[in-house]
C-alpha cells in the first residue's frame, strides 16, 4: 500500500479541483480531448474570468495545456488535459467516492 493510499480520503483530495469550474473543466476534458476556449465558455457560461482563472490554475499544476492555434485566419486557444492531470483527477474522484461511500459500510 502506498503512502497516498494509506492516507485518509479527505487528505487525498486535491485543492486544485476545489473551485467548481476547475472540477468541471477536468470532468469535460477527462477523456484527453481538446476543446476551444469559446466552446468551454458555452459549457460554463457566466463568469469568463472564473473560467480563465480555472484554466490558469490547472495549467500551473500541469494538469492541462493551452495550445494557441491559427485556424482560417482566426486564432483560438485550445485546452486539453494532460496524463498527469487525468491521473490527479482520477485520484481525486476516487477519494470523493470513498468519502461518499463511507456511510454505506
Model confidence, pTM: 0.82
Segment 34-74, tens digit of pLDDT: 899 999 999 998 877 899 999 999 999 999 999 887 555 55
- For residues 2-40, b (16+ Cβ closer than 10 Å) or e, as one string? eeeeeeeeeebbbebbeeebbbbbbebbeeeeebeeeeb
3-98: CATH number: 1.10.10.10
Residue 59 burial (CB count, 10 A): 15
Confidence of residue 101 (pLDDT cuts 50, 70, 90): confident
Amino acid at each position: 500500500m502506498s503512502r497516498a493510499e494509506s492516507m485518509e480520503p479527505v487528505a487525498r483530495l486535491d485543492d486544485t479541483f476545489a473551485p467548481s469550474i476547475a472540477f468541471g473543466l477536468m470532468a469535460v476534458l477527462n477523456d484527453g480531448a481538446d476543446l476551444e476556449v469559446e466552446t468551454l465558455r458555452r459549457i460554463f457560461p457566466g463568469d469568463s474570468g472564473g473560467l480563465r482563472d480555472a484554466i490558469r490554475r490547472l495549467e500551473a499544476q500541469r494538469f492541462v495545456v493551452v495550445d494557441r492555434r491559427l485556424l482560417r485566419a482566426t486564432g483560438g486557444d485550445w485546452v486539453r488535459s494532460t496524463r498527469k492531470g487525468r491521473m490527479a483527477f482520477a485520484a481525486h474522484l476516487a477519494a470523493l467516492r470513498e468519502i461518499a461511500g463511507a456511510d454505506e459500510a
